[in-house]
Chains A and B, each alone.
Chain A
Amino acid sequence: MFELFKNLAKWLTSGSQWAGTDGIAHRLAEHLQYSLLATLIAAAIGLPLGLLIGHTGKGAFLAINLASFGRALPTVGLVVLVFLASGLSMWPVYIALVALAVPSIVTNTYAGMTAVDPDVKDAARGQGMRGHQVLFQVELPLALPLIMTGLRLALIQVVSTATVAAYVSFGGLGRFVFDGLAQRDLVQVLGGAVLVAVVAIVLDLGLSGLQRFLFRHRTA
């Protein structure tokens, strides 16, 4: 056991391991690229959807259930399914990651919107604000902490799942996990897994720190 950790430390710290297209630095960059792009696409889909159903109160049942359905989809299964239809490209990976990220964004945005005090919305309308003004000047700012939480959750989930890219021959930190398993190289598997965990934790801490800073004057 001790030997394993010693080898793991050696693997993580050796300079040659970090260099080149097979190196940790490049794989890390790929991993972040996949994760950020997938989360951005998911946000572009999930945010308007969540705001719309939160603001109008219509279609919530359908949207939330569809989102839960997306959450229950097995990611690897989805990757294979899209792969069989589209062939070898990044499409299967991005579609699966976006499907994973959209639910937390939609449900949190919706939850944030519904948590806005109805009296506040009434008062805004009473002052003569129009629908879009209520949405962008009252509801959105008040719902922002929960919306941010949704985005953070989505990103963390995507970062920990972006290893599937390696399943269909692409890069990212999953490369170490899949190659290590196939080549019976336990140190490589552990190294990849540890790196994914570290990236997820660092991003989570960073984003929640940012959230606390941005909303430091709020109680909610």
Chain B
Amino acid sequence: MNRRTLLGALAGTAVAVPVLSSCASGVTSLDGGGSTGGGSASSKNGVTIGTANFTENQVLGYLYAAALEAAGVKVKVRPNLGTREIVFPALKSGDIDLLPEYQGSLLTYLQPRSKVAEAGEMQNALTLALPSGLQVLPYGIAEDADCFVVTRATARKYGLTSLADLAKHNGKLVIGASAEVKTRQVGVVGLKDVYGVEFKEFKSLDSDGPLVKGALKKGDVDVANLFTTDTDIKANDWVVLTDPKTLIPSQHIVPLIADRVADPTVRKALARLGNLLTTAQLTELNRQVDKDKKDPEDVANTYAKQHGITK
């Protein structure tokens, strides 16, 4: 499982989320920004953290938990709740209070047609798109975004460093990705629009799974669509093509939280964690869970201790 499966499973319900009814929820307030309807935010009664059903999201959930506990907040983690289709409504109904999210995927869920890609613009778009009672806190530096990778040998052979370089070899390269990438902006469509890239063939495989990675490794495809926190990229010395024209939307990790618990203690603890955790570190934590079969909670707690979040 991974972030896109989470997104892919939500089908039509995304459209039903009220998008326009949400504007006034504390966006303009300077003192914490979290209060709606007069009641002030407080984490005194504890915060329930939910996570989606894939490794990275669980690790992030436990990292949030460690950071909040260190700040003296009572925390309950409900891991592995399911896809965004399940987790988002649980947040709205109050079953959970806090959820590790990804900017781009969350915005696509709220506004399927949005074309905002830059991190700061996206943060504003998210704030506007969220229903009342929910808000996103400042985004962290770690990011789990779509990326297009080639093997080191392919990069050398064709002189590839950025997505723009692909256009120099139009009609020669084969791309492998899951089926939706063929018709999606962050995929074949956008690569043609933004970079003028035309592939020889599109091979419909899986989303950052054994098929697409196996095909890349064996040379059955030249370019593969993966995620930046995939540990196999580093392990295989694959080359991530840069995106100079910002085709790929920012996917910085962002806490999605209910206004009622977003008090200054919580906001500061999560901001501190956001500034600390890098993409490389998150990738390493994923690796420990996926490859070394460690428990996500232990991995998160060890990280928190090593980096001085907890004692």
Contacts and interface: CB of A to CB of B under 8 A. Distances in A.
A17 B215 CA distance: 30
27 contacts: A83-B211, A87-B218, A88-B215, A88-B221, A166-B204, A168-B205, A169-B176, A169-B203, A169-B211, A169-B215, A175-B204, A179-B179, A179-B180, A179-B204, A181-B8, A181-B179, A182-B8, A182-B178, A183-B179, A183-B180, A183-B182, A183-B183, A183-B184, A184-B11, A184-B12, A184-B180, A186-B11
B214 interface: yes
* Of A83, A166, A182, A186, most B-chain CB atoms within 10 Å: A182
A84 B211 CA distance: 8
Which secondary structure characterizes the binding site on chain A? Answer: helix
A184 B204 contact: no
A91 to B, nearest CB: 12
Chain A, interface residues (CB within 8 Å), range: 10 to 19
A84 B176 contact: no
A178 interface: yes
The size bracket of the interface on B is 20 to 34
A112 to B, nearest CB: 40
A80 B211 contact: yes
Nearest to A180: B179
Nearest to B218: A87
A87 B179 contact: no
A96 to B, nearest CB: 14
Given A179-B179, A182-B179, A183-B179, A84 B205 contact: no
Does more than half of chain B's interface fall in helix, strand or loop, or is it mixed?
mixed
A84 B218 CA distance: 9
Nearest to B12: A184
Interface in B103-141: none
Given A87-B215, A186-B12, 7 more contacts: A80-B211, A84-B210, A88-B218, A168-B211, A169-B203, A182-B179, A184-B180
Contacts of B218: 87-88
A168 B210 CA distance: 11
B290 interface: no
B309 to A, nearest CB: 38
Given A88-B203, A169-B203, A179-B182, A184 B220 contact: no
Interface in B218-236: 218, 220-221
Interface in A172-195: 175, 178-179, 181-184, 186
A178 B211 CA distance: 14
Interface in A141-196: 166-169, 175, 178-179, 181-184, 186
A197 B178 CA distance: 25
Given A169-B176, A183-B179, A178 B214 contact: no
A169 B8 contact: no
Contacts of B176: 169
Given A169-B176, A178-B179, A179-B179, A84 B203 contact: no
A88 B12 CA distance: 33
A166 B205 CA distance: 8
A181 B203 CA distance: 16
Contacts of B214: 83-84, 87-88
A175 B11 CA distance: 18
A5 B214 CA distance: 39
